[in-house]
Structure 1
């Protein structure tokens, strides 16, 4: 099964759906925290999530019962693989190093997993934003505006 990306709004709704597993539209409206979205908005997202393959529908009389098809674990694994491929060159070592650098995991927590390697934080060079500095701090423009201000003052006097 191919898993597709979700928007932030779709992800937030899916978190609720994963808790409910099987539900009706009215269940969502009751369970959704304040501020509650309009029922039509939720219906639209349900339709989109069915099209993306995250939910299945089962008609019961005049209403639909929705059922989660993609478990949360599968989606988390998908996101982790995407993150690893796009930002860490598929390197688990770089991911763990980043987690340690950002204080999201400690050396002691690594030992809980049986990892005894000492990982020292890597100091990365800060990127140079020469073009951004030129745009944000233009030296020539300051002189021009000062000259213009002086000319305006002379004209007023």
Structure 2
């Protein structure tokens, strides 16, 4: 389903609908904060949102039961992608830079989010083989013994 922007009034009503998930017109009228819109106005917006595909209806006797079809998370993703594409060159880095500059997010927020636990471990570096240096630093004590072994092997 293609998601489109809401008008301000549609968005305000959808915020209530997302909380209710499944509801009747009377539920909306009871839950709507003051000043409450007229019932005909809410009914008109319900019809519009059904036509746009954001709500579905199920007839129960003489009344309709409404159910939200587009979850809040989907609409939030849509809005964030639109914002990123239209105002931040489709760059998450630019979005983060803006959030930091406007103090809307802090580095501590990100550290907490990513649960950064950086441990620096010393890298194991293989030392060069110093065969000649080993011979000089640790000379073999009994060269004659070596020669004897060689001679014995030849016999």
TM-score normalised over the length of structure 1: 0.72
> 2-side partners of 1:60 and 1:35: how far apart?
29
> 2-side partners of 1:115 and 1:82: how far apart?
28
Map residues 18-57 of structure 1 onto 2, 5 A cutoff.
18-57=18-57
Any gaps of 5 or more consecutive residues in structure 1? 117-157
Note the aligned Cα RMSD (angstroms).
1.2
Deviations 1:50-102 (A, max 9, x none): 01111000001111000000000000000000000000011000000000000
> 1-side partners of 2:4 and 2:48: how far apart?
12
> 2-side partners of 1:36 and 1:68: how far apart?
21
Aligned to 1:7: 7
Aligned to 2:75: 75
> 2-side partners of 1:105 and 1:4: how far apart?
27
Aligned to 2:93: 93
Aligned to 2:102: 102
- From the CA coordinates, give the structure whose radius of gyration is larger: 2
Q: State the shift of 1:114 in Å.
A: 3.0
> 2-side partners of 1:114 and 1:65: how far apart?
41
TM-score normalised over the length of structure 2: 0.72
Aligned to 1:113: 113
SS of 1:58's partner is strand
